[in-house]
Amino acid sequence: MEAFKVCVVDDCVDEALVLCEGLRLNGYEAVAVHTGAEALQRCAQGDIELILLDVGLPDLDGYEVCRRLKARPETADIPVVFVTARGSSTDVDHGYSLGAVNYIVKPYNLPFVMVLVDSALRTRSATGPLPTPLEDPVYTDGLTGLKNRRFLYERLHEETDKARRYGYPVSCILVEFEEPPDAEEAERALSLEDMMVEVAMTLMGSSRTCDIIARYEGYVFAMILPHTGDRDARRYAAKIVEEVQGALLGDLDCSVHPRVSVGLAACDGEAWDAETLLRAAMSDLFKAKSLTDKG
């Protein structure tokens, strides 16, 4: 499969290089330009699928570049993610008002940027042109780039309501990772925050476009699976656990083996509401952890 092509626009050559290298390591094709005019010319060629755009450029500023991209039919559908040091609430609001799909303030966490790039490209691939998510910051977890608990509750209510109305199944999976209680800080190759981002990226890479993924709380992630009954959800959960464990252990060059637990509940014919489904999944997670502790 041909790699997605991302354009990095930054007048600082070193910062553009860091982003390009990060993109390539995550399987994307990256091209760098360093002025607003170059960005417009490069995007007009028709093969750019996402742009990471700085605001402080030497000719046209990033906001003007975004405005012109959205004004041209041939470039209007390219998702724009601002990556800039300008981080006031006014700057952020202005970026979204111009049509950006996300706004990242420097200094950034590179894995976090990759999560947002993956999310934007997956959404565009599944649905075509992206809407302008003016409320997105309200629903986004700042560490992982996933949706947050508020978003999860709202969508879970929607999905259980539709499941009752139309008679299709819906499942909820909770995934929690934790370190052994005797793990020492010095043994870690990754910080806990880096591990959180690693898990988020793995969940996004392993999910379907129709699934809803969120950070529930602490080290617990939640997945809502529409049109998925108990049997398929359990197969899916086993695959997720295997891939999360593989991702963590693959990036940890040390003796610390994080424990991954999963809880699952499926509404498959029962008229469950969102709270009942989530409570059942949480109860299943507690059982799984209890069995692991006894073992």
Spatial contact of 228 and 209, defined as CB atoms under 8 Å apart: no
Tell me whether the CATH fold assigned to 5-134 matches the one assigned to 149-294: no
pLDDT of residue 124: 64
The domain 5-134 belongs to what CATH superfamily?
Response regulator (3.40.50.2300)
Of 80, 87, 94, the closest CA to residue 8 belongs to: 80
pLDDT at 258 > cutoff 80: no
pLDDT at 130 > cutoff 50: no
Mean pLDDT of 147-169: 86
Report domain extents, the chain: 5-134, 149-294
Q: What share of the chain has pLDDT > 90, as a percent?
A: 37
Confidence band (pLDDT; 50, 70, 90) for 173? very high
pTM of the predicted protein model = 0.56
Indicate the pairing of strand 259-267 with strand 170-178: antiparallel
Per CATH, domain 149-294 is 3.40.50.360: no
CB neighbours of 186 closer than 8 A, spacing ≥ 6?
Answer: none
